[in-house]
């Protein structure tokens, strides 16, 4: 669990900093996170049979060509809720971790098949798993790694789900995610202060501010006890977070990432759905997704334990932060061109038969308010 949490924190950094600023700020991060697209990784080439162009384990290990189902993002668009809802389906088996991040971290990727499939325990025949690593969507080298990892006869079975959301709302939700994590850590330090005295807690504060979620919120190492008790005095507001020169909106320029995925996968392998459709019509959306994956849609598999018809509300940030209208408008202006390109692209069709019509994103219900 600790290792998984550390990966999530590293990914928050990865998707919030530009490559240049990351390399300047964390030259010794050690995971090779921002490599160029490695379509011919030495690891990949090592396990390709030159005669059949198929993957083989030279050590004689049997490779189970699973999972075929992916939920690749975008972060803070309901991927956790969707994953948990899909666990009701009898033909889907729960993974050890929802987000293995295998195709992101080179340190994991070079460990090969055995390392990946430790996350996908054996289930009865005909049952498949889901890799729901929500950060896959934005990283340019991930699609090529997934494609290269699967033999041709298994590649056509891969189905990739992408959930998209209003960029300004998604960015605010991601900010709240960072804020929640940093505040949780602050509370731990407050507890240490009561136990060990302020001098010890003050020393720990420097370590706290080096944690990625706090660092991205410009955590101030010099703040005093009162500020530690009131995170609003120690961390960036949403407006300050967006204005931070290290933060860009690349992850919310969705059409760029879709075009990258289409270099490696067919359009009918990408099921692209609007967050509002998913949350407004959960049973229909879920049946469309399992149909896309070629699974049985008959019977009342969805809602076996929850008859409300709503997706489970998970991974939310149960705290309120100020959502400034000016900041919202700034994000909208910076992503407007790419959002319109997305709408035009989706209007062309060509996606899976079960993919619903992609409607414009819903606007934020209010701003200049704590939400």
Q: What's residue 223's pLDDT?
A: 53
Q: For residue 17, tell me if it sits in a domain.
A: yes
- The token pair that represents 339 in the structure block: 């959002």
Are β-strands 159-164 and 69-73 bridged in parallel, bridged antiparallel, or unpaired?
A: parallel
Residue 162 CA, chain-centre distance (Å), reads 10
Cis ω on the peptide bond leading into residue 340 (within 30° of 0)? no
Decide if 7 contacts 134 (C-beta within 8 A).
Answer: no
Number of Cβ atoms within 10 Å of the Cβ of 133: 25
Task: Flag residues of the chain having pLDDT under 70.
Answer: 1-65, 125, 190-206, 220-229, 245-246, 302-309, 314-315, 317-319
Running DSSP on this structure, what letter comes out for residue 312? P
Give the C-alpha separation, 56 to 77, whole Å: 36
Number of Cβ atoms within 10 Å of the Cβ of 26: 16
Instruction: CATH number of the domain at 272, please.
Output: 3.40.50.300
Question: What is the chain's length?
Answer: 371
- The token pair that represents 67 in the structure block: 């999972």
Q: What's residue 321's pLDDT?
A: 87
- The token pair that represents 342 in the structure block: 């997305």
Question: In this structure, what are the phi and psi dihedrals at residue 357, rounded to the nearest 5 degrees?
Answer: -60, 135
Number of Cβ atoms within 10 Å of the Cβ of 116: 20
For residue 162, give the nearest of 187, 143, 141, 183 by alpha carbon.
143
3 state DSSP class of 49: strand
Question: In this structure, what are the phi and psi dihedrals at residue 273, rounded to the nearest 5 degrees?
Answer: -130, 145
Q: What's residue 352's pLDDT?
A: 98
3 state DSSP class of 87: coil
Q: For residue 184, tell me if it sits in a domain.
A: no
Q: What's residue 142's pLDDT?
A: 94
Q: What's residue 58's pLDDT?
A: 35
**What distances in angstroms separate CA 261 from CA 82, 139, 351, one per listed residue?**
21, 10, 13
pLDDT digits (tens, 9 = 90+) for 59-71: 333 345 578 899 9
Q: For residue 38, tell me if it sits in a domain.
A: yes
The residue segments making up the domain with residue 165 are 2-169+249-347
3 state DSSP class of 160: strand
Q: What's residue 125's pLDDT?
A: 67
Q: What's residue 296's pLDDT?
A: 87
For residue 270, give the nearest of 194, 352, 189 by alpha carbon.
352
DSSP assignments along 320-354, one per residue? --EE-HHHHHHHHHHHHHHHHHHHHHHHT--S-TT
Q: What's residue 275's pLDDT?
A: 95
Q: What's residue 356's pLDDT?
A: 97
Q: What's residue 361's pLDDT?
A: 96
pLDDT digits (tens, 9 = 90+) for 283-306: 999 999 999 999 988 777 765 455
Are β-strands 69-73 and 130-131 bridged in parallel, bridged antiparallel, or unpaired?
A: parallel
3 state DSSP class of 369: strand
Give the C-alpha separation, 54 to 152, whole Å: 7
Running DSSP on this structure, what letter comes out for residue 92? B
Running DSSP on this structure, what letter comes out for residue 299? S
Number of domains in the chain: 1
- The owner of tokens 């993974």 is 95
Beta bridge partners of 271: 161
């Amino acid at each position: 669990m600790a290792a998984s949490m550390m990966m999530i924190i590293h990914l928050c950094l990865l998707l919030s900093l530009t490559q240049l600023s990351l390399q300047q700020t964390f030259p010794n991060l050690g995971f090779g996170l921002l490599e160029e697209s490695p379509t011919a990784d030495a690891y990949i080439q090592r396990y390709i049979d030159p005669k059949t162009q198929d993957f083989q384990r030279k050590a004689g290990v049997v490779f189970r060509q699973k999972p075929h189902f992916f939920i690749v993002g975008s972060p803070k668009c309901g991927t956790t809720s969707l994953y948990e809802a899909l666990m009701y389906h009898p033909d889907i088996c729960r993974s050890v971790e929802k987000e293995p991040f295998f195709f992101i971290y080179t340190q994991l990727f070079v460990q090969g098949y055995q390392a990946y499939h430790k996350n996908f325990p054996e289930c009865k025949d005909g049952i498949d798993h889901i890799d729901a690593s929500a950060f896959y969507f934005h990283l340019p080298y991930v699609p090529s790694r997934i494609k290269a990892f699967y033999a041709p006869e298994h590649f056509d079975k891969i189905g990739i789900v992408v959930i998209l959301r209003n960029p300004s709302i998604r960015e605010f939700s991601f900010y709240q995610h960072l804020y929640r994590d940093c505040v949780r850590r602050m509370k731990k330090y407050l507890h240490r202060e009561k136990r060990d005295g302020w001098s010890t807690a003050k020393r720990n504060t420097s370590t706290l501010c080096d944690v990625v979620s706090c660092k991205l919120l410009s955590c101030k190492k010099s703040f005093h006890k009162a500020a530690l008790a009131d995170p609003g005095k120690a961390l960036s507001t949403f407006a300050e977070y967006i204005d931070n020169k290290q933060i860009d909106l690349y992850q919310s320029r969705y059409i760029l990432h879709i075009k990258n995925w289409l270099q490696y996968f067919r359009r009918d392998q990408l099921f692209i759905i609007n967050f509002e459709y998913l949350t407004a019509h959960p049973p229909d959306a879920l049946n469309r997704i399992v149909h896309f994956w070629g699974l049985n849609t008959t019977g009342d598999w969805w809602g076996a334990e929850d008859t409300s018809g709503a997706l489970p509300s998970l991974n939310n940030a149960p705290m309120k932060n100020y959502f400034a209208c000016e900041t919202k408008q700034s994000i909208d202006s910076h992503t407007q061109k790419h959002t319109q390109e997305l709408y035009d692209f989706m209007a062309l069709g060509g996606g899976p038969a079960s993919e619903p019509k992609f409607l414009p994103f819903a606007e934020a219900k209010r701003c200049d308010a704590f939400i």
